[in-house]
Amino acid sequence: MIIRLLIVLTTAVSLAAAQRSDLRGTVADSANGEKLPFATVSIAELKRGTVTTASGFYLLAGLPYGTYTVTVSALGYQTRTATVRIAGTEPVSKNFVLSSRPIEVSGVDVVGQRSTELSGATVSAHRLGQKDLMQVPVTGQADLFRSIQVLPGVVAGSDVSSKFFVRGGAGDQNLIIYDGLKIYNPFHAFGIFSIFDPDIIKSTEVYTGGFPAGFGGRLSSVINVQSDDGNAARFAGKAGVNLISGKLQLEGPLPGENSWIVNVRRSLLDNGLDRFLTEPPPIEFHDIFAKVRFGGGDYGKYSANFFTARDRISARSAADASHDWNAVAGSLRISDLLQDRAYFESVISYSKFGIDRTASLSGVITPASSTITDMSIRSDFTIFSESQDLYLFGFEVSGLGSEFSYAVGPTRSIAQKLTAAEFWSWFRYQTTLGPVALDAGLHTDMLGLLNGLTFSTVFQPRLSGVLTLTDVWKLKASAGSYTQRLLTLTNEDDITSLYEAWYILPKSEEPEKAVHLIAGVEGRPAPDVTISLQVYRKTYARLSLYNRDKRLSTEPDFVRGTGLAQGVEVMVRWTLSDLDLYSAYTYGRTTVTVGPYSYPPRYDRRHTLNAMATLRILSGLDLTAKWEFGTGYAYTQSSAMYFRRTFDDLGRSPLLNDEGSMYISLGEKNAARLPAFHRLDLTLTYRYAAGPVRGDAGLNLINVYDRKNILYYDRKTAQTVHMLPLMPSAFITAEF
């Protein structure tokens, strides 16, 4: 039915295309044949342009007959132009290959691509290439989420955690998609870095708010990661070692311009980080990524993905518990040109994440486990039109399962097994009206419709617009409604929690809901300077929060609350020939309200500043400095300790006994603030080439002035654990 509709629509559009024809093709990396997503393809004479899809495909529909200069550019690649003649009734096919720029000082924000049909109206969107990920100084090695944390509106969990919070949203409000797979915990143990090796990441889209109708199920942000397909031109490899891990990546061609890639990474912490850190317990981890690209014709791509990651934290003492995380995921992805002007992409995916915690010998920490599984089918369709308008629609069906158990005392444990289904559909329409680019869409919760949920829950409108004021300045605005049915269970009174369980709200219950309002201005007041300013207001119309007045087991654990997150973000980037300066400042304020209680969530941070400078000292030698500053997170102070009797087995045991334990009474919820976080990191990187082998070698100096930032405070043992101290590290990679 959908196919028929597509054919009818596109045929009707084609009939109107007298003396016009389409230009279509792909954009690929010249070195390895890898298709490039988000490359810009434009024709200056016609003021037309578009952006390649995730499969590297582009289409400019209904171009008047003539000869034009087509310009193709992509982040990290040399711009290329070609002359193309549009004539005849058949679409003109033109594929482009781009050469990588060997040395580049690039920032992390590439918002502001001009004259693009696919993304011209997006707001609060950032795109990161692989080189951007390598740019940000980190502990030991580059990391996707570390790079994301320098973006405006993104607040880091800690410097030994790559968990993050976006515009006052909780950590579980971020939708993380990896090659179409939904990833539920993309962090390695203790969160030191994510489970994605930057070398397998081709590109990343980050929406810090106002994300379009194609995404749903989360309230705050979307991280959409595309991985490398592998080298279709030749056998190649890359190896690397740093303070934390070692890795090996191999890739090569398969018959018919197909390719494969395998990436294996393993921790080396026994000989690395542990030398500098005595507080964190021993950590082991590995991750394996494999992908095969096969078939797909001239414009399409078929690929199969497999991914697994595992982590273990071993108990160091009787007071510690052991943790075991594991993630397994796989997908089959198909994209192709369905009809002359209709492109589709479908993904069938399976994703599972689990955590097991053993009891500590002292009994203070109790055993717990949690698993979440997700099986999904998603299809996206894009219809290109002669008027430059784009019609995008699709659907996603997911089956979710969650199991968790944990002890609530020496003899009692909680166990739940939950299942749920999600069925979403969406429609987007992108158009340009003079200086205004609009992206309007509707995300629909189809099961919510069947289950009789409210109109405003089922139908979630999204609207983004960009007004080009001058060649220099643009105004941007976005509004949208979002819902979320999955949330993580955690102890809100812990300052850091290693155990979280995914909980699915019952289908008859209205999900959590947020409304985003975003406005901003962006411009290039000078050729080398980019400035962006945005204000946001995220209204949480419904949140599921702990029932702080729960007294009996018959009363609900969660009750409905509301929230409000608002803030201002400023980003300035100044690029000189040998120096790149980047800074992002965020002022944020978040409050949640449940019943008579109103308080900031524990991840509320008032001021965040990230400043980064990259200096090209010599050819091939860069020095990068990054300074992070953030005012303290909210937390709840302990107010007293007393022996709390528990009247165990009330009704069966004597009332006068001494059953109980010491209890820590808490003060006003999240009324106190941790000290400010700040840290300076330096990285010196040298790019070398020795015959067929080339790579990077470098030194990191983490926390240059040895700031004692607080990671964790254990109320029960009165132990304060600090984040990373002054720590030198080194890395080297080699590739052929």
Partner 1 sequence: MKHTIIAAAIAVLLVGCSEEFQPNGPYVQRLSVYSVLTVADSTQFVTVESSVAPAAHSVTEPVLRGVPGAAVRLSSGTDTLLFRDTILASDAGIARHYISTSSAVASNTTYTLTVEAPGYPSASATVRTFTVGSVYASNVKLLADADQEEDLTVQVLPGRGSFANLLRVVFEYEWLKNGVWTPATAELPVGYDGERAVYPVFGFNTTSTFTVVFRPAVYRKTVRDLRARYADSLRFIAAVFELRQFDQHLFTYYSVANKFPGGSTIRLDDPDYTNVLNGFGVVGVASRTTYRTAMKSLP
Binding positions for partner 1, 451-510, rule CB under 8 A: 489-493, 499, 501, 503
CB of 257 to partner 1, least distance (A): 51
Q: What stretch of H or E contains 726?
A: none
CB of 627 to partner 1, least distance (A): 9
The pair phi, psi for residue 46, each rounded to 5°, is: -100, -5
- In the complex with partner 1, the residue whose CB is nearer, 423 or 629, is 629
Return d(Cα 14, Cα 401) in angstroms, integer: 45
Binding mask 678-707 for partner 1 (x = CB under 8 A): x----------------------------x
Buried b (16+ CB within 10 A) or exposed e, 173-194: bbbbbbbbbbbbbbbbbbbbbb
CB of 419 to partner 1, least distance (A): 16
Contact 621, 657 (CB under 8 A): no
Work out which of 88, 297, 409, 452 binds partner 1, going by CB under 8 A: 409
CB of 710 to partner 1, least distance (A): 5
How far, in Å, are 49, 194, 225, 283, 313 from residue 280 at the CA level? 51, 17, 30, 8, 9
CB of 622 to partner 1, least distance (A): 24
CA 217 distance to own-chain centroid: 14
- In the complex with partner 1, the residue whose CB is nearer, 408 or 690, is 408
Return d(Cα 128, Cα 203) in angstroms, integer: 6
Using CB under 8 A as the binding rule, whether residue 596 contacts partner 1 is answered as no
For 103, counting Cβ atoms within 10 Å of its Cβ (0-12 exposed, 13-18 middle, 19+ buried), the class is exposed
- Interface of this chain with partner 1, residues 84 to 143, rule: CB under 8 A: none
Using CB under 8 A as the binding rule, whether residue 594 contacts partner 1 is answered as no
CB of 315 to partner 1, least distance (A): 16
Supply the Cα-derived Rg of the chain in whole angstroms: 26
- Interface of this chain with partner 1, residues 536 to 575, rule: CB under 8 A: 546, 548, 550-554, 557
CB of 332 to partner 1, least distance (A): 35
- In the complex with partner 1, the residue whose CB is nearer, 114 or 716, is 716
Task: Enumerate residues 6+ apart whose C-beta is below 8 A from 488.
Answer: 170, 171, 172, 500, 501, 502, 503
* One-character DSSP codes across 561-594: EEEEEEEEEEEEEEE-SSEEEEEEEEEEEEEEEE
| Pairing between β-strand 436-445 and β-strand 174-178 as defined by DSSP bridges | unpaired
Work out which of 12, 720, 726, 730 binds partner 1, going by CB under 8 A: 720
- In the complex with partner 1, the residue whose CB is nearer, 324 or 492, is 492
Contact 368, 405 (CB under 8 A): yes
Using CB under 8 A as the binding rule, whether residue 637 contacts partner 1 is answered as yes
Using CB under 8 A as the binding rule, whether residue 158 contacts partner 1 is answered as no
Which span sits near partner 1 by CB under 8 A: 33-41, 73-81, 461-469, 713-721?
713-721
CB of 556 to partner 1, least distance (A): 10
Work out which of 1, 15, 18, 408 binds partner 1, going by CB under 8 A: 408
- In the complex with partner 1, the residue whose CB is nearer, 15 or 656, is 656
CB of 85 to partner 1, least distance (A): 54
Helix and strand totals (H; E) in the chain: 5, 46
456 by DSSP, 3-state: which?
helix
- How many residues of this chain bind partner 1 (CB under 8 A)? 74
Q: What stretch of H or E contains 716?
A: none
